[in-house]
Chains A and B, each alone.
Chain A
Amino acid sequence: MLTEPRLTWNVIADVRQLFDFPFMVNALRAGTIVAVLAAVIGWFMVVRRQTFAGHTLALIGFPGAAAATLLGVGVLYGFFAFCAAGALVIALVPRSGSTRFSEESAVIGTVQAVALGAGFLFVTLYHGNLNGLSALLFGSYLGVTGTQVTTLLIVAACGTLFIAIVGRPLLFASVDPSTASANGVPVTLLAVGFLVVLGLTAAEVSQITGALLVFALLVLPAATAQALSTRPGRGIAIAVGVSVAITWLGLGVAYYTPYPIGFWVTTFAFVAYVGSLGGRQIVRTVHR
């Protein structure tokens, strides 16, 4: 067995080497689960223009994780509990009809500020080591356990099932809420449900990319897909493909280099997005 990563010219041997370590196998499993969920939920988040909410929900995970560490509970549960609670707060703060969106931003901004402040307090109380802090914020793929993979899988399955059941009315409510409501779509209920699922998704993505870099998997694959296709089914399929590919690439490259996974996943996601915009521009020029 190898003791340290060594890149050879034999690609098959390199890939096989990744699977020699149980921690790498767990990281790949967790990464794949997270990537699929992030792409599906992210696609709807981008259509619904709730990226600010998504970002805030991810940041709320940080005090959750810090509080869990302080209490000696699993970090993952801290993420889930805080993200879901934060989603409910954002969804249920009452606001009046026409100024809904500006007020929503104010509520989200407030929640975000309070959450970050609390997170910093918890970290200080723990006298936490800085390694743990940077993993919470910028991601790490080390030390994912089999139990965590199972938990991630269950939550991801629930999130995907939610979309499978409400996907069509959710799309209607996202692009055309007033007509959807007149046609009998429970617009408000769907909005609350989606925010909670978005919160859980942000918590899952944080496990790989850290709380600050969730957009690498939540926004960029979805934005890439939207640039490439205007069809919902095809768009989500592209998003999943991009998301899984950049996660695998990120994990593989992070294993062989001393640089952190958050950086690699973000970089590959960015390359995919810029590539899709460029591709769209070329297609347009050719069509003219």
Chain B
Amino acid sequence: MTTAIELDQVYVRLGGHNAVCDATLVVDPGEFVAILGPNGAGKTTLLKAILGLLPVAEGGLTVFGHPPRHSDVRVAYLPQRRNFDPGVRIRGSDLVRLGLDGHRWGFPLPFLDRRTGAAQRVRDAIERVGASSYADRPIGEMSGGEQQRLLIAQALVRRPTLLLLDEPLDSLDLPNQAAVAALIDDVRREGSITVLLVAHDVNPILQYLDGVIYMAGGHAICGSPADVITSETLSNLYGTPIEVLRASDGRLVVVGHPEPPAVHSDRHEHAH
């Protein structure tokens, strides 16, 4: 069986320095894997390399046994996201539709729709994420959780086998984080999709994870959550004492995270 994603001593350079450094890891088909780590650790860069948006400087990177191809239809990507501005007066369902055929030339004409199955595919994807009741409202008027569900529908409408999500839970409140995490897991099981998800906080997705990739300064270690998120492994990765505490409800708390303060301001810009 071919692996979904395989990295062998991969280096990715970004603006003159190694954003990903000697990363070796394997993700099997159908697995739910989280990429964790502080800001600036190279998480998004790793995703972009897997997408074929950034070139691999050294080492071997394969997606389903082949080098990554830009705009591969089997790979769907949810970029790290700010919310849509309230003034964006485009219907949610139109946004989902753009995920299906937005890359094709031409102009969207409603009367050409009836002959193709495209409209049905869009409805199915929206139904799948439970957004049917509000999908025809302007996307800018929706809540963060509603927007995120429609963006997942937009990714699913291409019927991918690999789903890459960059911090999809970040702009959501806690109940919505749990609901969207459960939805992603559902979608993965139902469609045997491999899911790679960049997260800031492992707790909302911890119960669904098959593996984690922990990154620090471009270096990555991967394994099961129980093996990787430990005081010893993380202390080795960061080269500084790190303590992993387990709360009584099973939640993990990582203490002593070296968060580079400069990157924080950058994150706020994205949040707008």
Contact = CB atoms under 8 A, between A and B. Distances in A.
A148 B117 CA distance: 46
B214 interface: no
Contacts of B90: 47, 171, 175, 230, 232
Contacts of B77: 179, 182-183
Given A168-B101, A168-B104, A182-B53, A175 B109 contact: no
A117 interface: no
B99 interface: yes
A180 interface: yes
A270 interface: no
A165 interface: yes
A98 B151 CA distance: 22
Interface string B80-94: 110010001111001
A94 interface: no
A98 B104 contact: no
Interface in A85-120: 98-99
A147 B104 CA distance: 37
B197 interface: no
A182 B51 contact: yes
Given A176-B95, A232-B94, A167 B102 contact: no
B27 to A, nearest CB: 19
B108 interface: yes
Q: By CB atoms of chain B within 10 A, which of A226, A227, A234 has the most?
A: A226
B266 interface: yes
A171 B103 CA distance: 10
Contacts of A185: 102-103
Contacts of B209: none
B11 to A, nearest CB: 21
Interface string A154-187: 0000000001111111011001101111111100
Contact of B98 (A163, A168, A181, A226): A168
B145 interface: no
B105 A169 contact: yes
Nearest to B108: A168
B25 interface: no
B102 A169 contact: yes
> Main SS of the interface on chain A?
helix
Interface residues of A, number: 29
A142 B216 CA distance: 69
Contacts of A172: 98, 102-103
A288 interface: no
A171 B98 contact: yes
A175 B95 contact: yes
Contacts of B91: 230-231
A176 to B, nearest CB: 7
Contacts of A181: 53
A233 B110 contact: yes
Nearest to A182: B77
A166 B106 CA distance: 5
Nearest to A98: B269
B138 interface: yes
B143 to A, nearest CB: 17
A160 B102 CA distance: 19
Given A172-B98, A230-B90, A183 B103 contact: yes
A168 B107 contact: yes
Interface string B248-272: 0000000000000000001001100
Interface string A216-246: 0000000000110011111000000000000
A6 B89 CA distance: 45
Contacts of A166: 105
Contacts of B84: 175
Interface string A130-170: 00000000000000000000000000000000011111110
A179 B89 contact: no
A168 B106 contact: yes
B6 to A, nearest CB: 21
A167 B107 contact: yes
Given A175-B95, A176-B98, A230-B90, 10 more contacts: A47-B88, A99-B269, A168-B101, A169-B102, A171-B98, A172-B98, A175-B90, A175-B98, A179-B151, A232-B108
12 contacts: A98-B266, A168-B98, A168-B104, A168-B105, A169-B105, A175-B84, A179-B78, A179-B79, A180-B98, A183-B102, A184-B71, A230-B94
Interface of B: 51, 53, 70-71, 77-81, 84, 88-91, 94-95, 98-99, 101-110, 138-139, 151, 154, 266, 269-270
Interface of A: 47, 98-99, 163-169, 171-172, 175-176, 178-185, 226-227, 230-234
